Amino acid sequence: MQTNYKSVKEANGLQVGDSVENFTALDLHDQTFILSNALKKGPVVIIFYRGQWCPFCNKHLRHLQNKLQLIYDKGASVIAVSPEKSEFIKRTAEKSHASFSLLYDEGYKISDLFDVTFKPDRILTTMYNTILRANLKKAHSDDSQRLPIPATFIIGGDGKIIWRHFDSDYKKRSTVSDIIANIP
């Protein structure tokens, strides 16, 4: 098992213009999402979030849900990706009322692909697991307790990133107005 994980400062995220490899993942209803199929219908907005235990994530996803039609009106679809298993993703859906696809990033394959995965330090991990009751070892597919930086990417029909919001400060999130302004 790998023990040399990236710190939050070492994760850089994919850049505008980078091509995104096709990926598949299960949603909270155990339906398979395939990126290439979604891109045939239009741009895809991908939001990485830490988990149902994160109040900032739930607030961000609720805000997106409240303005979702504005994104759909631009011809884009929205998915949110977390390393949490389906039972925990269902809690996110309940807390955020998200009607868009919430995907289980098993083994961190999607967050690794986007270079947003990091390993929080021991103090933060303890705080997340005790105060916020994250239970990262049980909620994720392994016991590494890694998390994604809560980044947002817009992928164009050609599979290339056309916009991103990437900030290692988990309190700073993309806004719906920024997302809408950057959907072609």
What is the predicted pLDDT for the residue at 127?
Answer: 87
Partners of residue 16 on adjacent β-strands: none
Domains, the chain, ordered by start: 24-181 (3.40.30.10)
Q: What is the pLDDT of residues 4-18, one digit of tens each?
A: 799 888 999 999 999
At 1, the pLDDT band (50, 70, 90 cuts) reads very low
**Left, alpha or beta for 96 (phi > 0: left; psi -120 to 50: alpha)?**
alpha
179/139: higher pLDDT: 179
Mean of the per-residue pLDDT values for the chain? Answer: 94
Reading the block at residue 20, the tokens are: 């995104």
- When pLDDT is averaged across residues 28-51 and rounded to a whole number, the result is 96
What is the predicted pLDDT for the residue at 135?
Answer: 87
Location of structure tokens 């269902």 = 90
What is the predicted pLDDT for the residue at 115?
Answer: 97
Lowest mean pLDDT among 31-45, 128-142, 166-180: 128-142
Amino acid (one-letter) located at 97: H
* Strands (E) located in 8-76: 24-27, 32-34, 44-48
- When pLDDT is averaged across residues 92-106 and rounded to a whole number, the result is 95
Q: Residue 11 to residues 22, 24, 36, 151, 175: CA-CA distances in angstroms?
A: 20, 22, 25, 11, 21
Reading the block at residue 74, the tokens are: 């631009």
Location of structure tokens 């021991």 = 122
Position 50 pLDDT exceeds 60:
yes
- When pLDDT is averaged across residues 14-25 and rounded to a whole number, the result is 97
Q: What is the pLDDT of residues 131-142, one digit of tens each?
A: 888 988 888 888
